[in-house]
Amino acid sequence: MESRSAYDNLRIALVEDDDVLRDSVLVPRMLGYGFDLVGMRSARELHELLQTDPPDIVILDIGLPDADGFQLAASLRDSDPRLGIVMLTGRAENDARIRGLVEGADAYLSKPVDLGLLAATLHSLARRIGRHSNAGFRRSSGKWHLDAEGWCLVTPAGTSIALSKTERRLVKPLMSAAGRLVTRAQIIDALTSDAHEFDPHRLDSLIHRLRRKVSGASGEALPLTAVHGEGYVLKA
């Protein structure tokens, strides 16, 4: 059975007063990368959560209705040095970025945020605060592999590329059979519970997007060879 979450018991609070961005974009889309986010719209709600169920990571908008995001980040860092803090803001200028990092943020991401970059940042923070599984965790093996949780594809150079749920389902059978042919039917079975309703052309599109994503994120080409009419071989 596929894990619903990228990390067991990882608690992530998203403090964002834009209801549409929070509830219709970030929360559901990060779930697609394996992260359960608790959404809230104010510093007051965050402080209440800190008293009852403290999060491991806080994704923090700067322009909150009841607090200055920079000051809030500094306060959070002072109260818990291990807390992961990601600032997510429309202010992209260097002065604001520098101030955010100086005040204690681990990462400063500008809106509109690249969802893959946000997911990769959360993966990185989860490893820093010790939420990865120790068994099987490797920094770099010199080979293409999935990380211990199976939510990041890691290149031979050690670059981690966050995978969506669909990408994860696509990559897992290829990685499990590295060096051997995986048929199109086997991959489609991994992608869907109803192969008869799945458009085979969608697989080609998914493969194309995955190749482009890997190349853009790492500068390395995914060593995936197409066997015409049959399937694919991943030379991991």
Confidence of residue 223 (pLDDT cuts 50, 70, 90): very high
> What gap in Å lies between CA 196 and CA 11, rounded to an integer?
38
Per-residue pLDDT, 133? 45
51, amino acid identity? Q
> Which CATH number is correct for 145-234, 1.10.10.10, 3.20.20.70, 1.10.3720.10, 1.10.1740.10?
1.10.10.10
What integer pLDDT is reported at residue 129 of this predicted model? 81
Superfamily for 12-128?
Response regulator (3.40.50.2300)
Q: pLDDT-derived band of residue 234, with 50, 70 and 90 as boundaries?
A: very high
Q: How far apart are CA 36 and CA 29, in angstroms?
A: 10
pLDDT the model gives residue 141: 59
Q: Tens digits of per-residue pLDDT, 69-121?
A: 999 999 999 999 899 999 998 887 888 889 999 999 999 999 999 999 999 99
178-215 in b/e form (b: 16+ CB < 10 A) is: eeeebebeebbebbeeeeeeeeeeebeebbeebeebbe
pLDDT at 13: 97
Mean pLDDT in residue range 218-234 = 94
pLDDT at 144: 94
What is the C-alpha separation between 233 and 236, in angstroms, rounded?
9
Per-residue pLDDT of 5-50, as tens digits, reads 677 789 999 999 999 999 999 999 999 999 999 999 999 999 999 9
Give pLDDT, residue 37.
Answer: 95
Each domain of the chain, given as residue ranges in start order, spans 12-128, 145-234
Same fold for the pair 12-128 and 145-234: no
**Predicted local confidence at residue 131, as pLDDT:** 58
Give the pLDDT confidence of 116-150 residue by residue, as tens digits. Answer: 999 999 998 998 887 554 433 444 557 999 988 88
What pTM did the predictor assign?
Answer: 0.76
